[in-house]
Amino acid sequence: MKIAIIGQGYVGLTISGYASEHFDVVGFDSNEKVVKNLNSGISHIEGINSSLISERLSAGRYRATNKGSDIKDCNVVVIAVPTPLTKDRKPDLKFIDSACQTIGENVTNPVLVINESTSFPGTLRNFIKPTIEKYSANRINHLYAISPERVDPGRTDFNQKNTPRLFSGLTSEASRMTRDFYSKFCNTLIEVSSPEVAEAAKLFENTFRQVNIALVNEFAQIAHSLGISVYETLDAANTKPYGFMKFTPSAGVGGHCIPVDPTYLAAVAEEHGAPATFIRRANEVNLQMSEYVVRRIAEDNDGDLQGKNVLVVGVAYKPNVADVRETAAELVINHLRHQGAVVTWHDEIVGSWKGESSSPLIGADITVVVTKHDSADEKKILASAPYVFDTTGKITGAKGL
């Protein structure tokens, strides 16, 4: 069996790592630098070590490519490309479209096409299948299935093996082959009755998180206005052994999933005349958190941030990864600069970002912790400025939400 995986990012490279233990894998990516690095044994994704890539390269079980013709003789093609939003915050399927073009133009035998990219219900049936057919010179009866990815980059307790995987094919043959493929490296496979259910379940999982994060972010503001600790209150509520799940406040949500996926659900809901009010409101609350954080910092500093040296600690969207997509740190920095603060940032994992480099963790007037990596030293953070505001709730002795 030869597997082609389109997109070698967080999702695609992770699957490549697991699948290449059992199959020959070709990792197709349109980014030349990614391909070059992977073929030199350099991984750019947390959780997939460079040593693993090197080992699979030397065993001849894996190679990266940006040539469409290299996926020609595969038996299974997995799509793992980004599904972002357009400028006007609508689902943007342009990467899926170009992945379909690569498949349509190069795969001439019938194969199983599995989509792992997150998208709205109906994407497999009404977009991926017809788009691949549109790009194929001859009509080929590929099999189609969806298995939405649930990987949580940087997490060590849950991985591809022990995270249950949903799947569904457009036909029972597609479902059977999908089960056979994933069962090699995933312990629990759950078949649902249609691809649309699997697609919707993935969106609802992330919408559940988005809405609960917004709820706790709003509650943090309520707790502060009442003069009580949000963290103590959440810990108290969390002593209830049922019916409560603890979420913690933050400067906002980031990453490719939580700020984006719910909008895919809202878009499809609105198209069908159904309300998606929670999603829209949760998005607003989460986006406004950065402004709230800066307001709190200004209030504690005589209402004036003009000319103050502010160091933002942690610009990745979450701890222990280098991913800065949709990071709340960007909004915090923008609001601080808008108030006249001189902003630098410190993040040893990210290193450089938007043409700026990580600054030393020292000598600021104000330090704001947006993301706390495990490697970031708490004592050094506290010593970096006379005033430290921690949005993560992890630093004892700092001001916070």
Ligand X SMILES: NC(=O)c1ccc[n+]([C@@H]2O[C@H](COP(=O)([O-])OP(=O)(O)OC[C@H]3O[C@@H](n4cnc5c(N)ncnc54)[C@H](O)[C@@H]3O)[C@@H](O)[C@H]2O)c1
Q: Should residue 149 be labelled a site residue for ligand X when binding is judged by CB under 6 A?
A: yes
| Residue 195 is a binding residue for ligand X (CB under 6 A) | no
Element (H, E) at 51: helix 50-58
Q: Which residue in 16, 20, 43, 118 binds ligand X (CB under 6 A)?
A: 118
| SS3 call for 167 | strand
For 352, the 3-state DSSP assignment is strand
Matching residue, tokens 């040893």:
348
For ligand X, which residue of 153, 169, 195, 314 counts as binding (CB under 6 A)?
153
- CA dist 181 and 112 (Å) reads 10
CB of 239 to ligand X, least distance (A): 31
CB-based contact 362:293 (threshold 8 Å): no
312: contact with ligand X by CB under 6 A: no
Cα distance between residue 44 and residue 292, in whole Å = 34
- Choose the binding region for ligand X from 92-100, 123-131, 306-314, 357-365 (rule: CB under 6 A): 92-100
Q: Which two tokens stand for residue 81?
A: 């490309």
As given in the structure block, the two tokens for residue 112 are 């199983």
Residue 150 or 346 with smaller CB distance to ligand X: 150
Q: Which H/E stretch holds residue 299?
A: helix 277-300
One character per residue 238-277, x = contact with ligand X (rule: CB under 6 A): ------------------xx--------------------
257 is catalytic: yes
Closer CB to ligand X, residue 117 or residue 217?
117
Catalytic one of 74, 100, 186, 257: 257
In sequence order, what DSSP letters do the residues of 61-102 get, joined into one string?
SEEEE--GGGGTT-SEEEE-----B-TTS-B--HHHHHHHHH
Q: By C-beta, is 98 or 301 nearer to ligand X?
A: 98
83 near ligand X (CB under 6 A)? yes
By CB under 6 A, tell whether 47 contacts ligand X.
no
113 binds ligand X (CB under 6 A): no
- Measured from the CB atom, is 96 or 370 closer to ligand X? 96
Distance CA 342, CA 227 (A): 30
DSSP 248: -
77/368 with CB nearer ligand X: 77
Interaction site with ligand X (CB under 6 A): 6-12, 28-31, 34, 80-83, 95, 98-99, 102, 116-118, 149-151, 153, 256-257
